[in-house]
Chains A and B, each alone.
Chain A
Amino acid sequence: MAITADHIRDKLIKELAAVHVDVEDTSPNRCAASYKVLVVSSQFEGKPLLQRHRMVNTCLVEELKEIHAFEQKTLTPEQWDKQKSQ
């Protein structure tokens, strides 16, 4: 199965009950398949940063075997709203 931005977005929405997901394919800037994601989910509430990132990593464990570079930002809905208003 080819990894596409849509595939990643769908998986994140499904498994993390994300209210907002941004997936950016940054491969043109790098040497191989690279993605930058923003995930907003209430499941991140009360969890430290590392744990949030590990949740995303677990969700995308199969895809990450193929992806070369991966950037992620994980926010709760409140943090997301605050960031939007800035």
Chain B
Amino acid sequence: MMKLGASASSSASLSPSSSFPSSLLAELLSSSFLFLDSTLAFFAISFFCLSLSRFLLRFAVLSSAARLFCSTLSRYSAKCLWTGAAVRLPRQPDGRVLTASSARFLCAAAGPAKDLGEMVKKDKVVVFMKGTPAQPLCGFSNAVVQILRMHGVDDYAAYNVLDDSELREGVKAFSNWPTIPQVYFSGEFVGGCDILLQMHQNGDLVDELKKLGISSALLKAENESK
């Protein structure tokens, strides 16, 4: 849709005397790209049109109408290549570009249960939540983040289930627990927000953290006040 919009707006900016057939053909070409699933074919055709039109323009023998056609075509092809690159190729958060096929391959190779087993053991404190610790997207997930922060636990693994629906369903099956957030200590399921809150209120959380080798900030504060 983005590509069509881009070419539509650019055609509006063309002078009224521009030849109608050439812009129409270019529009047809770019709209046909929308139906091309193969990223490779899209780029191949765009590039072909671009080089063909540029090639033809070199020849002075062309009539002015033909020249106009070629320049319009080359402009559209270049635009398609440019916007296509921005739209078609998915980018990783750090700006790296993965082609669609390689991204799919990566996802398919990972088995959910095996991964989760490793994920919960990799770090001492693991939280599956909605949103991120910096920006929780749910009241219960936020409560878990705040409780951990109160105890001075800042170094924990947090996985955003809203980013990945497979993870969201997978972790519920893995833990045999129906809701998010979910908290793991040393690979062992602790519970959700309710349980963490009760542990915090009755002092159990400080003890559990000590077993992990984490000294709770609240314990330090309590010792200092004595």
Contact = CB atoms under 8 A, between A and B. Distances in A.
Contacts of A64: 178-179
A71 B177 contact: no
A57 B178 contact: yes
Interface string A15-45: 0000000000000001000000000000000
Contacts of A49: 191, 195, 198-199
A66 to B, nearest CB: 10
Contacts of A70: 178-179
Interface residues of B, number: 15
Given A49-B199, A57-B177, A64-B178, A73 B194 contact: yes
Contacts of A67: 178
B144 to A, nearest CB: 13
B140 interface: yes
A50 B191 contact: yes
A31 to B, nearest CB: 10
B189 interface: yes
Contact of A69 (B177, B179, B189, B195): B179
Interface centre among B140, B178, B193 (most CB of A within 10 A): B178
Interface in A44-69: 49-50, 53-54, 57, 61, 64-65, 67, 69
Interface of B: 139-140, 176-179, 189-195, 198-199
Rank and list the top 8 A-B pairs by shortest CB-CB distance, nearest first.
A64-B178, A50-B191, A49-B195, A70-B179, A71-B194, A72-B194, A57-B178, A49-B198
Interface of A: 30, 49-50, 53-54, 57, 61, 64-65, 67, 69-73
21 contacts: A49-B195, A49-B198, A49-B199, A50-B189, A50-B190, A50-B191, A50-B195, A53-B191, A53-B192, A53-B194, A54-B176, A57-B176, A57-B177, A57-B178, A61-B178, A65-B178, A69-B140, A71-B140, A71-B193, A73-B194, A73-B198
